[in-house]
Structure 1
Amino acid sequence: MQRVCFLLRVRRDRLDEYRERHTAVWPDMLAALSGAGWRNYSLFLREDGLLVGYLETEDFDRARAAMAETEVNARWQAEMSGFFEELDGAGPDEAMRPLTEVFHLA
């Protein structure tokens, strides 16, 4: 199982709305994530907008590619892209750059 952690930055003026959107993630989006192999997926948001994401999957590149093929992900990414800083023209999923794991206590 591959453990993946990534960072993004949410715009400070949209923190409350970002939190609200994640209290009711679309059921078809949740099903797509599960179907693509995303497990134990969590998002943590700091008050300054730092977003830390964590997930487990067999193959992150394959799981991300599977999501990219879904219609619901295209809709979700289009709606969510305005919440983030520093995407440099990429969608939020494309801007995810996994951090290198340097320690894990099993």
Structure 2
Amino acid sequence: MTERIAFQLQIAPAMVDEYVARHTPVWPEMLAEIAASGRRNYSLFLGEGGRLFGYYETDDDEAARTYLAASPVAARWEAAMAEFFVGLVGRADHAATPLVEVFNLHDQLTASGA
């Protein structure tokens, strides 16, 4: 079963432009590691004041987290990105605030038979 994962982080407002620049594009080897971990449909959205919202899908989030935790590429990426986050202890990929899904159109349409 596909897990939908959403999370929130805070980027230092003065560093938003540099954060965006570092994602344009992300290192090819990091993109490959994200895909190899089993994460897909991965997106980041930037809100006002540096509020960052992320979303991805995976069949096994614990396995994806374990894979990335052991990846030297992901460790280098997370170390390079650490300076951007406000109030974060540890790696962003492990310490992001998870969000609870309260609505999904597909799931509700499927359940209703519509």
TM-score (norm 2): 0.89
1:15 alignment partner, SS class = helix
Residue 16 of structure 1 corresponds to: 17
Matched, 1:94 2:94: yes
Residue 36 of structure 1 corresponds to: 37
CA shift at 1:48, angstroms? 0.5
2:54 alignment partner, SS class = strand
Percent of aligned pairs with the same amino acid: 49
Distance 2:26 2:75 in 1: 14
2:99 alignment partner, SS class = coil
Higher helix proportion? 2
1:18 alignment partner, SS class = helix
TM-score (norm 1): 0.95
1:85 alignment partner, SS class = coil
Distance 1:97 1:84 in 2: 12
CA shift at 1:43, angstroms? 0.1
CA shift at 1:102, angstroms? 1.3
- Consecutive unaligned residues of structure 2, counting only runs of 5 or more, are 107-114
Number of positions where the alignment pairs a residue of Structure 1 with one of Structure 2: 105
Whichever of the two has the greater Rg, that structure is: 2
4+ runs of 1 displaced by more than 6 Å?
none
Matched, 1:64 2:65: yes
